Structure 1
Amino acid sequence: MSVIYILLAVSIVVAICFFIAFIIAVKKGQFDDSYTPSVRMLFEDELIKNKTEKTILTKKD
């Protein structure tokens, strides 16, 4: 029974360590996306064209 308490304590310590590492990584900006905003302008035209084609088709019908 004492092994369960030891494993539980160790797993909580490991979980806290991973959580702290995650918080530090977020604060340092590791998960900031700097690529997508520069490419987003290339794909917006396709979305607008698709929307206008759909609206044109619905207006003809």
Structure 2
Amino acid sequence: MESLYILIPLSILVIALIAWVFSWAIKNDQFEDMKGPGEAILLDDDTPKQDQ
């Protein structure tokens, strides 16, 4: 029972931290383009480099 006095405030603190990080990510447009960076790796430049 005594462990609940530590675990409940700790879990509330963790939930508040997660909510703050999520709101920061939304505010800074971190979720603006979800497909672009994932597909950019597939659009590789297939032209061979020329030695100079």
TM over 0.5, yes or no? yes
Under a length normalisation based on structure 1, what TM-score does the superposition of the two structures give? 0.51
Superposed CA RMSD: 1.7
Larger Rg: 1
Runs of 4 or more above 4 Å deviation:
none
Shift of residue 33 of structure 1? 1.9
5+ long unaligned stretches in structure 2: 37-52
Under a length normalisation based on structure 2, what TM-score does the superposition of the two structures give? 0.59
Is the helix fraction higher in 1 or 2?
1
Number of equivalences: 36
Q: How many percent identity over aligned positions?
A: 36
Q: Return the alpha-carbon distance in structure 1 between the equivalents of residues 6 and 13 of structure 2.
A: 11
5+ long unaligned stretches in structure 1: 37-61
